[in-house]
Structure 1
Amino acid sequence: MPLILFNKPYSVMCQFSPHPDRQTLGDYIAIPGIYPAGRLDADSEGLVLLTDDGKLQHELSHPERKQAKTYIVQVEGKPDAAQLARLGAPLDLGDFTTQPCHARQIAAPEWLWPRNPPIRQRANSPTSWLALTLTEGKNRQVRRMTAAVGLPTLRLVRIAIGSFTLENYPLLPGEWQEVDAN
């Protein structure tokens, strides 16, 4: 029953089946019978957990388990107190309302690897970094949340799932490590 921590690079599909245009998890991890416990979209980077244990996969990814996930997000613009408060409160995104989360502005992470390709950046538009910790994870939720408060996402990196963090397991993009699930 391995638990694999993988730092998913930008543009990689969070699946093992082949994709016509992009790399997939199978291009990085050749362990038969494992599956991701949750996903990241191709435009997002960072921590993905994989296992061959269905019960563990359920524990890690089921919405009722409220597994905290922390993301660092580079956004276009500089957030004000009202935008941060809106991000942290339940936010109506049209088809669903988010659960409350922890949202704060952070300094640009010096430890973060460069993205390939680099983000698009406008010379006259400043960028900022946020840390968001959610207990849910709907499709493109973080991107939709930041857009809803007027701070479009430029870069999104998941740095933690529960107690598993890229701080404790410093993996570069494309690297993985097997760990004890307990």
Structure 2
Amino acid sequence: MSLLKSNNHRNFVVYKPYGYLSQFISNASKQRNKKFLGELYDFPEGVMSIGRLDEKSEGLLLLTTDGKISDYVNSQKVEKEYYAQVDGLISDKAIIDLSNGVYVGLEGKNYKTKPCDVFKLESSPELPKRSKKIRDERHGPTSWISITLKEGKFRQVRKMTSVVGFPTLRLVRVRVGGIALNVLQPGDVVEMENFILDF
């Protein structure tokens, strides 16, 4: 296990809520009614999000003022685990296809995702209720999977599950390296002296 020390820098673990952007402020008129991380806490100047979660995704987000740590996490050396609730009862074939890598659209080109760890969760994970309700169960069954990546392309998990025929309804990042969501609730911010990022 490696401990990434961040001397004279500040580090934060955040449960990004649904509906927030992984940014702090914006002057763009089209984002006037959006919610930003800066509304959750008085973060120091120079803080940056390590990777991002799109507006409709939620869960673990690491923030730091240390660019070296940010570069390390984004260098495909650190695992990121997600729980995805998908539309339908996902098949064994779809799990295998996701594990082996699938082709997704990326910047106008076909990109094959790298092999990753995927398995079906036997029961729904214990997560806080989302602020916006998932579609009604009368529209059909859903299932949950765990997917662990070391890469992080734009909307990658959503694209992957859609390609195999099981669109993502809810996406929660639950772990980055050795840091887990644990008992954090949406909107929680915890400052940490150091990040444990590898096992």
Normalised by the length of structure 1, the TM-score is 0.93
Q: Quick check: 1:118 aligned with 2:129?
A: no
Secondary structure (helix, strand or coil) at the match of 2:70 reads helix
C-alpha distance in 1, partners of 2:147/2:175? 10
Matched residue count: 177
CA contact (8 A) 2:74 2:151 kept: no
C-alpha distance in 1, partners of 2:143/2:134? 13
Match of 1:71 in 2: 82
C-alpha distance in 2, partners of 1:124/1:37? 36
Give the one of 177, 181, 184 matched to 1:171: 184
Match of 2:60 in 1: 47
Q: Quick check: 1:25 aligned with 2:41?
A: no
Q: Quick check: 1:132 aligned with 2:147?
A: yes
Match of 2:124 in 1: 108
Q: Residue type of the partner of 2:195?
A: A
Listed one character per residue, the Cα deviations across residues 103-142 of structure 1 (whole Å, up to 9, x for unaligned) are 1110101x21100111123514100000000111100100
Secondary structure (helix, strand or coil) at the match of 2:160 reads helix
Percent of aligned pairs sharing the same letter: 39
Higher strand share: 2
C-alpha distance in 1, partners of 2:102/2:71? 26
What value does the CA root-mean-square deviation take over the aligned residues?
Answer: 1.2
Can you give the 5+ residue segments of structure 1 that lack an aligned partner in the other structure? none
Give the one of 10, 14, 27 matched to 1:6: 14
Secondary structure (helix, strand or coil) at the match of 1:131 reads strand
Q: Residue type of the partner of 1:58?
A: D
Normalised by the length of structure 2, the TM-score is 0.85
Secondary structure (helix, strand or coil) at the match of 1:39 reads coil
Structure 1 residues 96, 22: closer, same or farther in 2, change over 3 A? Answer: same
State the 1:92 CA deviation: 1.3
Can you give the 5+ residue segments of structure 2 that lack an aligned partner in the other structure? 1-8
Match of 1:181 in 2: 195
C-alpha distance in 1, partners of 2:39/2:23? 10
Secondary structure (helix, strand or coil) at the match of 1:82 reads helix
Give the one of 61, 69, 82 matched to 2:93: 82
C-alpha distance in 2, partners of 1:125/1:27? 36
Runs of 4+ in 1 over 2 A off after TM superposition: none
Match of 1:147 in 2: 162
State the 1:66 CA deviation: 2.5
C-alpha distance in 1, partners of 2:59/2:20? 11
Which deviates further from its counterpart, 10-19 or 138-147? 10-19
